[in-house]
Amino acid sequence: MAKPMSAEFRPQTTYLNTASHGLFPARTTSVLEAAVREMAAGEMDQVGYYERVEAARATFARLVGVPPTRVATGSAVSVHVGLIAQSLPEGTEVLVADGDFSSLVNPFHVRSGLRFRSAPLEGLADAVRPGTGLVAVSSVQSADGRVADLAAVRAAADAHGARVLVDTTQSTGWLPLDPALADYTVCGAYKWLLCPRGTSFLTVPRDGGGLRPLHAGWLAGEQPWDTCYGPIRELAHSARRFDESPPFLPYLGAEASLGLVAELGPAAIGEHNRGLAARFRAGLRELGHAPVEADSAIVAVPGLGDSAEALAKAGVVLSARAGNLRAAFHLYNTEAEVDRTLEVLAEHVRG
C-alpha cells in the first residue's frame, strides 16, 4: 500500500508528524468549509448536526469493536481521564508507566485522596500488586513509540482485581486493540484518526464502570430533547450520560475522517505505516544512529531532537519529544518520503 488515498491528501511538505496532528482528508475539508458557510449564513441544521455526531460515535465504535452504547464523546482526553479520576473511591492506588503522556497521568496525580505510583513500561505488569485499583497506560508511548504489552497488563490486573485504562490516542487508526484488554479507553481523535482537534472518545464497560456523570448536561438525558430544562430525572442508559456537549465543527469533520479510516481499515493502514517505519529505522542504522526499537508507526531517535528545526527548513516536518527526533508515518506517506528524510538528515548531520 504505497499511497492508499493520494487524492484525499495534498500536503505541501514531507509531513511525518501525525503523532502531533493528522492531516485532513479532502472530504473532511469540504465538510468543514460547507459547515462554516452554513453557520455564517444562518442555515444551520442543529438537529442534523447532532445526528452526525451520533454517526461519528457509531463509526468510532465500529473501528474499536464495541457497541456505540459504550462510547462517550468529548473534546479532550484529559477531561475523560479526569472523569475517571474523580469517580475513583478514596484511597484507590493508581499505577501508571514512567514518563507517560501528562494528559493521562496528571488527572490522577492532582486528585487528592488517591495513591499514585509509577513503574517502567516494560515492568508495568510486574508492578501490579494487591491493592492496585487501576492501571492507566498508553497503548503506544508518545515520546518514543514503544508499544505496551497490554495482554500482560490485563492478566496482572485481573489477578489483583484492578481495572485497566488504556489511552489509545497514538494507536487507534493503525493498531487494532482487543476491547477485552481494557475496561476504559480514551482516544484523542485528531492524530491518527485525522479528525479536527476537539474530538475525543471514551469507552466504558457495559455497566458504566462505576463512573459518575460529573459534567452531565442536557444531552445526558435519556430523552434529551424532552428534558432540556430543569433537573434530568432519567439519565441516558448508555455512555452518552458521560458526554460533553459536542463542538459541532470538530464532530462534523470527524464523521468524514472516521469514515475514511473505516473504509481503508486500521489493519491495512497499520501494515503500511509499520512498513515505512521499519524502512526508516533501517536507514537510520545505516547512518550510524540507534532508533528506539519498536514495531510501531512512531520512530524515535534519542539525542537528535535538535535536528527537527533544520529538517523543517528543508520541508520535512517531524517533532522533538523528550530529546528524541520523532517521526510518525501514516497513510499519506510514501517510501520516497522516507528516503528523502534520510537524505536530508544525513546532510544535516554532516553539515
CATH of 30-263, one of 3.30.1370.60, 3.50.30.30, 3.40.640.10, 3.40.50.2000: 3.40.640.10
Look at the alpha carbons of 226, 228, 230, 234 in this order and tell me if their dihedral is positive or negative. positive
pLDDT at 7: 77
User: CA 48, 52, 56: angle at the middle one, nearest 5?
Assistant: 170
SS3 label, residue 336: helix
**Helices 102-109 and 77-87, packing angle to 10 deg:** 30
- What pLDDT, on the 0 to 100 scale, is given for residue 26? 96
Multiple choice CATH, 6-25+265-350, 3.40.140.10, 3.50.50.60, 3.40.50.300, 3.90.1150.10: 3.90.1150.10
pLDDT tens-digit map of 23-75: 999 999 999 999 999 999 999 999 999 999 999 999 999 999 999 999 999 99
Task: Give the model confidence (pLDDT) of 319-330 as tens digits.
Answer: 999 999 999 999
Q: How far apart, in whole angstroms, are the C-alpha atoms of residue 313 and residue 295?
A: 29
Name the percent of the chain in helix, strand, coil, to the closest 5: 45, 15, 40
Confidence of residue 1 (pLDDT cuts 50, 70, 90): very low
pLDDT tens track for 182-231: 999 999 999 999 999 999 999 999 999 999 999 999 999 999 999 999 99
Residue 264 has pLDDT above 90, yes or no: yes
Is the distance from CB of 351 to CB of 343 less than 8 angstroms?
no
Q: State the average pLDDT over residues 102-124.
A: 98
Q: What is the mean pLDDT of the chain?
A: 96
Alpha helices in the chain (DSSP H): 26-41, 46-64, 77-87, 102-109, 124-127, 150-160, 248-264, 266-286, 308-313, 335-350
Instruction: Give the C-alpha distances (Å, rounded to integers) separating 277 from 139, 270, 322.
Output: 17, 10, 19
Inform me whether the pLDDT recorded for 2 exceeds 50. no
Could you tell me if 117 and 98 are in contact, meaning their C-beta atoms sit under 8 angstroms apart?
no
Instruction: Name the residue with cell 526508516.
Output: 280
Query: What is the pTM assigned to this prediction?
Result: 0.96
Break the chain into its structural domains and give their ranges.
6-25+265-350, 30-263
**Using CB atoms within 10 A of its CB, is residue 174 exposed (0-12), middle (13-18) or buried (19+)?**
buried
pLDDT for res 350: 72
Whole-angstrom Cα distance, residue 257 to residue 202?
18
For residues 44 and 27, what is the distance between their CA atoms, to the nearest angstrom? Answer: 19
46: left (phi over 0), alpha (psi -120 to 50) or beta: alpha
Give me the torsion for CA of 246, 168, 190, 175, rounded to 10°: -130
The grid cell for 109 is: 496525580
Q: Give the model's confidence band at 6: pLDDT under 50 very low, under 70 low, under 90 confident, else very high.
A: low
Residue 12 has pLDDT above 50, yes or no: yes
What are the tens digits of pLDDT across the range 265-323? 999 999 999 999 999 999 999 999 999 999 999 999 999 999 999 999 999 999 999 99
Residue 120: pLDDT over 90: yes
Domains 6-25+265-350 and 30-263 share a fold: no
* β-pair type (200-203, 71-74): antiparallel
Q: How many residues does the chain have?
A: 351
Q: How would residue 348 be classed by pLDDT, with cut points 50, 70 and 90?
A: confident
